[in-house]
Amino acid sequence: MSKAKSFINEFKQFAVKGNMIDLAVGVIIGAAFGKIIDSLVRDVMMPFINFILGGSVDFSNKFIVLSKPESYSGPETYVDMTNAGANVLAYGNFLTILINFILLAFVVFCLVKVIAKARATMEKEKEAQAAAAPDPADVVLLTEIRDLLKNKN
């Protein structure tokens, strides 16, 4: 019974210390950040790429129909085909998600580099302040006593 209580107490300490809260906050912010990157790709990058390439690129509607229902005679767009139950290979959606991932990885990489540079700068400032700070009065007094004792011998 004491092992179970110990386990429960350990779990309570883990939950209360903030580890779970930090993880939950990270997941929530990560999901929101993913939505931002998805919007950046879909709403900013893709229209720009379409403009550069003459409007011929729409990754969301790039697919290959592997098989479609025999009775289907409607338009062959991705949404219509999937709603009709067709078997489609949606490589355009995959390309969009891949671009999202690459952009997200690039943004995270840049953030990590900025944070590492900021930390290095802060460490250098702390070291400079520590080197420039005068010794406390008690250290100075002890140093003087040590030097007097050396000179007496």
Alpha carbons 74 and 97: distance in angstroms, whole number: 27
Check residue 28 and give its pLDDT.
Answer: 92
Query: How confident is the model over 16-27, as pLDDT tens digits?
Result: 776 777 788 889
Tell me the β-bridge partners of 65: 88
Structure tokens at 85: 């139950």
The model carries a pTM of: 0.54
Model confidence pLDDT, tens digit, residues 82-137: 888 888 898 888 887 887 788 778 877 888 899 899 999 999 988 888 777 777 88
Q: Note the pLDDT tens digit of each residue in 66-90.
A: 888 888 888 888 888 888 888 889 8
